[in-house]
Structure 1
Amino acid sequence: MAFGSFNTAGTQMPTAEINMTPLVDVMLVLLIIFIITAPLMTHSVPVELPRAASTPTPEKPVNLQVAIDAKGQVYVGVERVAGDQLEGRFRMAVAQDAKVEMHLQADRNTRYEAVAETMSAARRAGLTRIGFVTQPTAK
């Protein structure tokens, strides 16, 4: 309720007060709507699915293992590849399987430049799935 100000000298100014009743009414209506509609969302149509005997085809993506040693030498699998031939090797792998994944293993002392050049060659060749292989830390 508004009683006015504590200033008794002169005219009294009315104070503004927020009426909470409409806010409470709106919140109560929303709560009732959510209580009614929530159980309807969990019900699904009961469907009995047919039984079929089949085996899923295991499609394992081709993994391209790329390693970079501390000297910056790049290895695809166990074969050392020169920097100018690297993009060609990646293109050959993409031509064999478009969903090829590159797993990059870099020595901790490898320069960032060697890793960045290898990754940019892979992107130019069309490799989109690149993952970094690390050792888990001991707990």
Structure 2
Amino acid sequence: MKTGLMKKRGDDENTGEIDLTPMLDVVFILLIFFIVTSVFITEAGIEVMKPEASTAEPRSKDLILIAVSNDGQIWIDGEQIDSRFIRSRFERRLAETPNASVVIQGDRSAQNEHVMSILRAARDAQIASVSISTEN
């Protein structure tokens, strides 16, 4: 009977390994923490040259940003849309955030008819607060 002299095979194989599971758990928890606490900046989709204004008020509520380029393209949430579908997009966003306000980022060389169509769509969607973004 040589049971006292024989070693178990499982003991030799696991002696030099380090368990990384707790470290991975901590890394994933930190990743989730930073994702949840980060601030997301919404943009309309294109960079426009805003007109200047003598009076300006900062906005900090839920915003629906809409941009109008100098050639009449209309952008909401990073995608270009047709002017006929602005009202439906506003209504969909209002369903998500009922107290949202619209901020129009119109290029200084954009035609007024495009801005007026956005204002009309916002009024038809019953949005209470509509403003135009300007440079100080």
Q: TM-score range by the shorter chain?
A: 0.5 to 0.7
- What amino acid maps onto 2:123 in structure 1? R
Cα offsets for 1:30-49 (capped at 9, x unmatched): xxxxxxxxxxxxxxxxxxxx
- Partners in 1 of 2:61 and 2:109 — Cα distance? 30
Query: 1:56-92: per-residue Cα shift (whole Å, max 9, x none)?
Result: xxxx632111100011111112111111111100000
* AA at the equivalent of 1:105: Q
Equivalents in 2 of 1:101, 1:127: separation in Å?
A: 7
Give the corresponding residue for 2:101. Answer: 101
Determine the structure 2 residue equivalent to 1:21.
Answer: none
User: Unpaired runs of 5+ in structure 1?
Assistant: 1-59
Distance in structure 2 (CA, Å) of the matches to 1:77 and 1:132: 17
Q: Hey, what's the Cα distance between the residues in 2 that align with 1:126 and 1:107? A: 25
Secondary structure of 2:84's aligned partner: coil
The code of the aligned residue for 1:131 comes to: S
Aligned position for 1:69: 69
1:129 maps to what in 2? Answer: 129
Q: TM-score, normalised by structure 2?
A: 0.54
CA distance in 2, matches of 1:108, 1:74: 14
Distance in structure 2 (CA, Å) of the matches to 1:84 and 1:100: 21
Q: Which has the higher contact order (CA 8 A, sep 6+)?
A: 2
1:118 corresponds to which residue? 118
Secondary structure, aligned partner of 2:102? strand
Q: Which runs of 4+ in 1 moved over 2 A?
A: none
Q: Distance in 2 between matches of 1:85 and 1:123?
A: 14
Distance 2:132 2:110 in 1: 14
Query: What percentage of residue pairs aligned between the two structures are identical?
Result: 22
Report the TM-score, using the length of structure 1 for normalisation: 0.53
RMSD between superposed Cα atoms in Å:
1.2
Q: SS in structure 1 opposite 2:66?
A: strand
Structure 1 residue 127, shift from structure 2 partner:
1.1
Within 2, Cα distance between the matches of 1:132 and 1:86?
A: 16
SS at match of 2:83: coil
Structure 1 SS opposite 2:134: coil
Q: Size of the alignment, in residue pairs?
A: 77
